[in-house]
Chain A
Amino acid sequence: MKPFAYSRETGLDHALARGKEDGVRYLAGGTTLIDLMRLGVEEPSTVVDLRALPLRDIKADGDGVQIGALATNTEVAYHPLIAKAYPVLSEALLSGASPQLRNMASVGGNLLQRTRCSYFRDPSSPCNKRMAGSGCPALDGYNRSNAILGVSSSCIATHPSDMAVALLALDAVVHVRGGGGERAVPMGDFHVAPGSTPAVETALQKGEIITHVTVPASPFAQRSHYVKVRDRASYAFALSSAAVALDVSGGVVKSARVVLGGVATKPWRATEAEAELVGKPPTSMSFDAAGAAAVRGAVPRTHNAFKVELAKRTVARALRDLVGKA
């Protein structure tokens, strides 16, 4: 690892001031940053540890809930305000990583985790995301884990977070602080597709700190579910996942959320799939139709074409499980 300076900040304003300096990276649980530093993908000159900041509370917020950016994935997953009211969020968190890692990983860090694209993680390889203009070897190389939705000719890397997929389905809002004060960014605007600038992954500006995430109450939050398909039963990133939520009354779907993970360059809201569900009874037929709509426009490549069918079925299965569960 390249030598770096370490400092621990206890006040938000101090931390923000440090964050403006060149070569500074914030540190929370370290499970993304330290890993990438070891690989030589990240080489900060200074690491500013945020963990002593008072951003850890999970508390009621009106009818919804507010989650501090430094709350660990374990704390969120098992929190009584979350496990019952937002099952999709608990399930997504518990499907990710391992118990040890979830004890370390924070909510803010989880949103900002980097892709697992193997070329990105190998500093000796070209990669547009790591080094602008160097090319994207995944396009014609080994791309089994890469994305089929939201892709560009510059980058087809998947966003690996499970939690973010659930948060998008729940209409969560990310709250950030920067030099210019506070901003609230809806989850749908937080992550951005690669386009021609794959290095830009989120709406976060340099030096800004995520302070908390709010999740509103919604008619579908409680009837929500996460399904993750991976190469082994535990402890692997998603090949395909789906966060689904339904508001059903009088035997008809009033509103729906369908969000895909593991197959897109950012947590992927499938509004066409949602439209297939609304106004109809929740039946297998509309679930299959939703699955098909979810992958409309997918761009498969040599090794990841299986994801088109897999994502379709993941959506249908998540909906079936959800209705069976309730």
Chain B
Amino acid sequence: MVDASLKRPLSFDVNGKTVNVDVAPMARLLDVLREDLHLTGAKEGCGEGECGACAVIVDDKLVNSCLIPALQARGASVRTIEGVAKGDVLHDVQKAFLTWGGAQCGICTPGMVLAAVSLLEKNPKPTEQDVRVALAGNLCRCTGYMKIFESVLKACETAMARESASEAAR
């Protein structure tokens, strides 16, 4: 067990809410999210940066939470898969994954969705090649990737269709 005296207070924002936890210095951001905050969407696939199942967005950047000491997140703003939907309304990317078969077993899905969300926030009209590059750090053992790429591109179409509809209505 970790000597409690080694634990240090940590405060950061998760999905828009400030959280305060006491963490062991060797705890990784992934551990704190899963164990202390019970946000179990981020998964530990490999623990060494290879698979992307642990991906979260920290200060607007997609990162692997398995390689981040939790204490390094002090003051940061973290988004996890739990914060992607707005209440009961799924994000376009989530809907597209459901509709177009982007998820099978689901282990890679939180990381894939966050990688896609992160891409679309920076580049709303990606090419398939852009999608491939943006998702290159996320491994999937089930889908063979094509349905994932397709889902992301469909999500863009939905977003663009909505945008032009709302422009037409104005």
- Decide whether A and B are members of one complex: yes
Let me know if B68 and A3 touch, CB within 8 A: no
Let me know if B64 and A5 touch, CB within 8 A: no
| Nearest-CB residue, chain A, relative to B47 | A38
Let me know if A4 and B25 touch, CB within 8 A: yes
| Nearest-CB residue, chain B, relative to A1 | B26
| Nearest-CB residue, chain B, relative to A2 | B26
Question: Distance in Å from the Cβ of B84 to the closest Cβ of chain A?
Answer: 16
One digit per residue, 1 when the CB lies within 8 angstroms of any chain A CB and 0 when it does not, for chain B 104-139 equals: 000000000001000000000000000011101110
When distances are taken between beta carbons in the complex, the residues of chain A under 8 Å from B160 are none
Give A38-55 interface residues, CB cut-off 8 Å to B: 38-39, 47, 49, 51
When distances are taken between beta carbons in the complex, the residues of chain A under 8 Å from B26 are 1-4, 37
With an 8 A cutoff between CB atoms, is B28 at the interface? Answer: yes
Question: Distance in Å from the Cβ of A84 to the closest Cβ of chain B?
Answer: 19
Contacts known (A99-B137, A103-B61, A234-B136); A3 close to B67, Cβ less than 8 A = no
When distances are taken between beta carbons in the complex, the residues of chain A under 8 Å from B55 are 100
Which stretch in A27-35, A61-69, A200-208, A217-225 binds the other chain?
Answer: A27-35
Contacts known (A99-B62, A99-B134); A3 close to B115, Cβ less than 8 A = no
Let me know if A27 and B115 touch, CB within 8 A: no
When distances are taken between beta carbons in the complex, the residues of chain B under 8 Å from A37 are 26
Question: Distance in Å from the Cβ of B169 to the closest Cβ of chain A?
Answer: 36
Let me know if B49 and A101 touch, CB within 8 A: yes
With an 8 A cutoff between CB atoms, is B163 at the interface? Answer: no
When distances are taken between beta carbons in the complex, the residues of chain B under 8 Å from A35 are 48-49, 67
Contacts known (A3-B3, A3-B24, A4-B26); A97 close to B137, Cβ less than 8 A = yes
When distances are taken between beta carbons in the complex, the residues of chain B under 8 Å from A235 are 136-137
When distances are taken between beta carbons in the complex, the residues of chain B under 8 Å from A34 are 28, 67-69
When distances are taken between beta carbons in the complex, the residues of chain A under 8 Å from B71 are 6, 8, 49
Cα A278 to Cα B52 with chains together (Å): 45
Give the residue of A2, A47, A104 whose beta carbon is less than 8 angstroms from that of B64.
A104
Let me know if B48 and A101 touch, CB within 8 A: no
With an 8 A cutoff between CB atoms, is A98 at the interface? Answer: yes
Cα A222 to Cα B51 with chains together (Å): 34
When distances are taken between beta carbons in the complex, the residues of chain A under 8 Å from B3 are 3
Let me know if B67 and A104 touch, CB within 8 A: yes
Let me know if A27 and B69 touch, CB within 8 A: yes
Cα A2 to Cα B115 with chains together (Å): 31
| Nearest-CB residue, chain B, relative to A31 | B67
Give the residue of B63, B72, B132 whose beta carbon is less than 8 angstroms from that of A51.
B72
> Can you offer 6 A-B residue contacts whose CB atoms are under 8 A?
A8-B72, A37-B26, A39-B48, A99-B115, A103-B63, A234-B132
Task: Give 16 A-B pairs besides A6-B71, A34-B69 with Cβ atoms closer than 8 angstroms.
Answer: A1-B26, A4-B26, A8-B74, A38-B47, A49-B69, A99-B136, A100-B52, A100-B55, A100-B64, A100-B137, A101-B64, A103-B62, A104-B64, A104-B67, A234-B132, A234-B136
Q: Which residues of A contact B (CB under 8 A)?
A: 1-6, 8, 27, 29-31, 34-35, 37-39, 47, 49, 51, 74, 97-101, 103-104, 234-235
